[in-house]
């Protein structure tokens, strides 16, 4: 690995072993796949809206979220950002394109989902969940997984960022 | 990741292979996208194929893929803005009276303030905005008659309230208070009246209004007794007035869709229809608040009693909670069965049943309820709080069952039990195929129809959200008595019903719930009540037009 580090021309500098890199890229692509399909399935469903989810919201942002539902324009914007945000993040994670931005955006979005409907003691929701949760749910875990990826980046090793950052690397070295 | 390994080994082998290695690393995601797109397209086409197959089968059953909007079915075309001003009066400005006025666009200033406050507290409460967005019906309230001073005053205040739907119409003339309804009917300043008094006054008032040539919107139950139903029917028939009975659920979109589905014979032979009332609060059982200003000085007790069969000394309880006594009201039968029956009559066009058997009793609000401090109860009611009726329609080969309690909220819908499918109707609608259906047998075997999934559903404004708050509001909304949807927008159902009446006055034609339907409803309800009173089965003699 040290030997690799000395290669100045290459941006695929890595301290990961192959299996580590494989595991991290696999995780990145799986989350990307999930978010991309979540986004696409919302876009192709003409009846989809975040209104139900937001109107049920509890905890600290409940006031903000319900006021979004009450305002048709705000709801439209939120729905649009949500649908296309998911798609953009999904593509970013799979392709390794602007991976860092996509990872952070993904964390923010997933955290918003989490704080809107957190599975806290005493909170009840009319929409059934597909599992059993106490404080921790799959949304939180997915956000935490992205948190890991934010600090173990792989986009510049496997992904379109290889090209983007090689270019800039060249300019810097020039 | 195999590309990565490959790239690494190639890298070691060939120093000049950096470009190729980077290319592979950069485009590692390409096959992933390939698989994603391939699988996505495959999934889509599979879903499309299945949907197509179901649609093909449904076409065979002549189920339309898309139902026409209710507005094109029921609301008669009108000119964009009604030009002819209609001046009307209200007789009985109590809870229901005030709410009809409000639906028509005339609200007490207190209500506006309450709604503003509610909207500030809960941003999803769009009640006031919905109301202000209503079409201006071009009406003015010019006369108010109520035997309780407070309510009469409230009517006068509402008449002058300039916050109304539509454009600001400038200063309003306001209304005059009439001490006696006869004076209101005699006034040349009034074209039409809303009658929202207790039931025992309905028939006399409608008859007098018909004589005076005033159009009538009358609350249900249309009359208190069978005889009155005949008298009212004759009076309206012999006049030229437009009569609308207050069954606002005639405007319910889900009912209109239910009718279409039954006409397409989706359900097969229907042998049983079940309707219910499920309430669980003293308010729902008509123990309304006694107004603090109610007294012999502020209430014209003699005029209130009027045609009531038993005259009793002044009673605040009887005045404010008249629905609890048969002297003034018609109990569960005329008050709530009437709505359920009217919905079924609208959907199935049943008419008057051949027979009725009722039973029930006062099982919750018994004499133990006397002395209740919160509700200040001193006299036990005589209308039952549990009430069940079985109506027979041998000609139609079906039974209509009504079952009601005022002491449990368990929601039970309106259910149409058909041999091929059953349908549940409220504000929404769901049809499930029967797993032993003859008609769907093949389709069920082939797996085209899944009996665990609805064959057809209709959901109110799938993108809109209801901010229905109080328990009784929730009850009315769940029974389809509060709102409906026109082109995806939530609309107050009573507004539509008043508009339907005004359209008939302006443009001719019959209102949706005219005296014919009203007569059927009144007789059906009276059959149920009489059976309960007599403790036996009663029948309708269609020749003598009499309950026997």
Q: What DSSP string runs through B197-253?
A: S-HHHHHHHHHHHHHHT-EEEEPSSS-SSHHHHHHHHHHHHTS---EEES-GGGG-H
Q: What DSSP string runs through B153-211?
A: HHHHHHHH----SSS--------EE-SSHHHHHH-TT-SEEEE-S-HHHHHHHHHHHHH
Cβ <8 Å between B26 and A37? no
- Nearest-by-Cβ selection for A96 from B29, B124, B463: B29
Query: B456 forms bridges with which residues in the sheet?
Result: B431
Instruction: Please give the Cα distance from B397 to B469 (Å, whole number).
Output: 41
Cβ <8 Å between B25 and A26? no
Please report, in tens digits, the pLDDT of each residue of chain B (548 residues total): 445 454 454 444 444 445 777 788 888 888 889 999 999 999 888 877 766 766 666 665 555 545 444 443 334 334 445 678 899 999 999 999 999 999 999 999 999 999 899 888 876 677 888 888 888 888 999 999 999 999 999 999 999 998 888 765 667 788 999 999 999 999 999 999 999 999 999 999 999 999 999 999 999 999 999 999 999 999 999 999 999 999 887 777 788 888 888 888 889 999 999 999 999 999 999 999 999 999 999 999 999 999 999 999 999 999 999 999 999 999 999 999 999 998 999 899 999 999 999 999 999 999 999 888 889 899 999 999 999 999 999 999 999 999 999 999 998 879 999 999 999 988 778 888 899 999 888 888 877 777 887 777 776 644 333 333 334 444 454 555 455 555 455 678 888 899 999 999 998 889 989 999 999 999 999 999 999 999 999 999 999 999 99
B8 touches chain A (CB under 8 A): yes
CB neighbourhood size of B167 (10 A): 8
B465 touches chain A (CB under 8 A): yes
- Nearest-by-Cβ selection for A18 from B4, B33, B36: B4
**Distances in Å between the alpha carbon of B451 and those of B115, B431, B447, B458?**
44, 10, 9, 17
Question: Looking at the predicted structure, is the pLDDT value of residue A64 above 90?
Answer: no
CA of B504 vs chain A CAs: smallest distance (Å): 35
The residues in A 36-75 lying below 8 A from B, measured between CB atoms, are 36-37, 40, 44, 47, 49, 51-52, 55, 63, 66-67, 69-71
Indicate the pairing of strand B243-245 with strand B215-218: parallel
What pLDDT score does A37 carry? 93
Query: B539 forms bridges with which residues in the sheet?
Result: B355
| Cβ contacts of B29 on chain A, cutoff 8 Å | 29, 94-96, 158-160
Interface confidence (ipTM) of the complex:
0.77
State the average pLDDT for chain A.
81
What pLDDT score does B58 carry? 60
Pick the residue of B2, B23, B28 with the most A CBs within 10 A to test the interface with A by mutation: B28
What pLDDT score does A1 carry? 43
Is pLDDT larger for residue A163 or for residue B524? B524
- Nearest-by-Cβ selection for A70 from B27, B44, B124: B124
| Cβ contacts of B1 on chain A, cutoff 8 Å | 18, 21-22, 25-26, 158
What pLDDT score does A6 carry? 43
A94 touches chain B (CB under 8 A): yes
What pLDDT score does B489 carry? 56
The residues in A 97-156 lying below 8 A from B, measured between CB atoms, are none
Instruction: Please give the Cα distance from B254 to B484 (Å, whole number).
Output: 8
Say which residues have a Cβ less than 8 Å from residue A159's Cβ, sequence separation at least 6: A95, A96, A97, A99, B25, B26, B28, B29
Cβ <8 Å between A159 and B29? yes
Find the residue in B nearest to A10 (Cα). Answer: B18
Find the residue in B nearest to A21 (Cα). Answer: B1
What pLDDT score does B413 carry? 79
Least confident of A84-98, A103-117, B248-262, B356-370: B248-262
Cβ <8 Å between B123 and A37? no
Q: Which long-range contacts (CB under 8 A, 24 or more apart) does B296-300 make?
A: B298/B148, B298/B149, B298/B150, B299/B147, B299/B148, B299/B149, B300/B147, B300/B148, B300/B179
B38 touches chain A (CB under 8 A): no
pTM: 0.74
Instruction: Please give the Cα distance from B337 to B321 (Å, whole number).
Output: 19
CB neighbourhood size of B108 (10 A): 20
| Cβ contacts of A29 on chain B, cutoff 8 Å | 29, 32
Instruction: Please give the Cα distance from B199 to B428 (Å, whole number).
Output: 30
Helix, strand or coil, per DSSP, at residue B495 = helix
| Cβ contacts of B27 on chain A, cutoff 8 Å | 160
Split at pLDDT 50, 70, 90, the class of A59 is confident
Q: Where are the alpha helices (DSSP H) in B268-325?
A: 301-305, 316-320
Say which residues have a Cβ less than 8 Å from residue B263's Cβ, sequence separation at least 6: none
Question: Looking at the predicted structure, is the pLDDT value of residue A3 above 60?
Answer: no
Q: Which long-range contacts (CB under 8 A, 24 or more apart) does B532-535 make?
A: B532/B333, B532/B358, B532/B359, B532/B360, B532/B384, B532/B387
Cβ <8 Å between B8 and A158? no
Instruction: Please give the Cα distance from A52 to A35 (Å, whole number).
Output: 19
Question: Looking at the predicted structure, is the pLDDT value of residue A79 above 50?
Answer: yes
Find the residue in B nearest to A17 (Cα). Answer: B5
Cβ <8 Å between A95 and B29? yes
- Nearest-by-Cβ selection for A47 from B1, B122, B462: B462
- Nearest-by-Cβ selection for A69 from B21, B25, B124: B124
What pLDDT score does A11 carry? 42
B49 touches chain A (CB under 8 A): no
Instruction: Please give the Cα distance from A171 to A93 (Å, whole number).
Output: 26
E strand or H helix at B414: strand B414-418
Q: Calculate mean pLDDT across residues A133-157.
A: 91
Buried-state track B29-54, b at ≥16 Cβ within 10 A, e below 16:
beebbeebeeeeeeeeeeeeeeeeeb
CB neighbourhood size of B483 (10 A): 26
Buried-state track A90-129, b at ≥16 Cβ within 10 A, e below 16:
bbbbbbbbbbeebbbbbbebbbbbbbbbbbeeeeeeeeee
Pick the residue of B14, B26, B43, B44 with the most A CBs within 10 A to test the interface with A by mutation: B26
């Amino acid at each position: 690995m040290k030997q690799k580090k000395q290669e100045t021309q290459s941006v695929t500098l890595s301290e990961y072993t192959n299996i580590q890199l494989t595991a991290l890229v696999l995780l990145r692509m799986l989350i990307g796949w999930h978010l991309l399909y979540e986004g696409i399935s919302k876009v192709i469903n003409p009846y989809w809206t975040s209104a139900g989810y937001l109107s049920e919201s509890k905890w600290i942002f409940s006031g903000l979220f319900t006021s979004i539902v009450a305002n048709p324009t705000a709801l439209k914007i939120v729905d649009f950002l949500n649908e296309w945000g998911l798609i953009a993040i999904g593509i970013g994670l799979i392709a390794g394109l602007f991976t860092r931005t996509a990872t952070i955006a993904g964390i923010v979005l997933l955290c918003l989902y989490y704080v809107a409907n957190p599975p806290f003691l005493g909170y009840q929701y009319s929409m059934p969940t597909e599992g059993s949760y106490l404080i921790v749910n799959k949304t939180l875990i997915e956000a935490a997984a992205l948190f890991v990826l934010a600090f173990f980046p792989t986009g510049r090793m496997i992904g379109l960022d290889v090209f983007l950052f090689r270019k800039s690397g060249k300019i810097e070295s020039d | 990741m195999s590309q990565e390994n490959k790239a690494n080994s190639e890298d070691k082998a060939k120093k000049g292979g950096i470009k190729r290695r980077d290319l592979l690393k950069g485009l590692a995601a390409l096959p992933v996208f390939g698989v994603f797109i391939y699988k996505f397209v495959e999934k889509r086409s599979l879903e499309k194929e299945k949907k197509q197959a179901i649609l093909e089968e449904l076409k065979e059953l002549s189920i339309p893929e898309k139902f026409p909007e209710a507005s094109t079915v029921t609301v008669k075309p009108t000119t964009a803005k009604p030009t002819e001003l209609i001046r009307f009066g209200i007789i009985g400005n109590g809870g229901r009276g005030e709410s009809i006025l409000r639906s028509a666009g005339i609200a007490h200033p207190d209500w506006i303030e309450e709604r503003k406050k509610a909207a500030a507290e809960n941003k999803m409460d769009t009640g006031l905005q919905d109301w202000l967005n209503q079409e201006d019906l071009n009406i003015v309230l010019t006369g108010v008659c109520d035997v309780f001073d407070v309510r009469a005053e409230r009517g006068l205040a509402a008449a002058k309230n300039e916050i109304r739907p539509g454009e600001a119409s400038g200063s309003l003339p306001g209304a005059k208070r009439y001490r006696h309804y006869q004076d209101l009917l005699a006034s040349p300043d009034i074209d039409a009246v809303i009658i929202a008094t207790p039931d025992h006054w309905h028939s006399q008032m409608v008859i007098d209004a018909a004589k005076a040539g005033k159009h009538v919107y009358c609350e249900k139950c249309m009359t208190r007794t069978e005889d009155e139903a005949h008298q009212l029917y004759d009076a309206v028939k012999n006049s030229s007035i437009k009569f609308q009975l207050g069954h606002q659920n005639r405007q319910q979109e889900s009912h209109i869709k239910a009718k279409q589905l039954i006409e397409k014979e989706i359900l097969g032979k229907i042998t049983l229809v079940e309707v219910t009332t499920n309430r669980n609060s003293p308010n729902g059982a008509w123990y309304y608040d006694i107004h603090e200003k109610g007294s012999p000085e502020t209430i014209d007790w003699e005029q209130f009693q009027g045609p009531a069969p038993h005259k009793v000394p002044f009673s605040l309880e009887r005045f404010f909670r008249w629905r609890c006594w048969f002297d003034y009201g018609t109990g569960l039968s005329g008050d709530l069965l009437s709505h359920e029956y009217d919905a079924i009559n609208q959907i199935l066009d049943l008419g008057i049943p051949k027979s009725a058997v009722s039973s029930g009793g006062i099982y919750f609000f018994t004499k133990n309820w006397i002395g209740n401090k919160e509700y200040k109860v001193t006299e036990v009611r005589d209308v039952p709080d549990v009430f069940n009726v079985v109506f027979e329609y041998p000609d139609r080969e079906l039974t209509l069952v009504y079952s009601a309690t005022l002491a449990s909220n368990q929601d039970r819908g309106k259910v149409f039990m058909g041999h091929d499918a059953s349908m549940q109707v409220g504000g929404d609608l769901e049809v499930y195929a029967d797993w032993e259906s003859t008609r769907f047998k093949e389709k069920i075997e082939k797996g085209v129809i899944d009996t665990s999934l609805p064959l057809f559903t209709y959901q109110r404004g799938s993108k809109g959200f209801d901010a229905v708050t109080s328990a009784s509001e929730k009850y009315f909304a769940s029974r389809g008595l509060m709102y409906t949807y026109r082109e995806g927008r939530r609309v107050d159902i009573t507004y539509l019903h008043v508009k339907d009446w005004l359209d008939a006055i302006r443009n001719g034609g019959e209102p949706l719930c005219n005296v014919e339907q009203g007569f059927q409803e009144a007789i059906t309800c009276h059959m149920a009540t009489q059976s309960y009173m007599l403790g036996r089965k009663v029948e309708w003699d269609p020749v003598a037009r009499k309950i026997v």
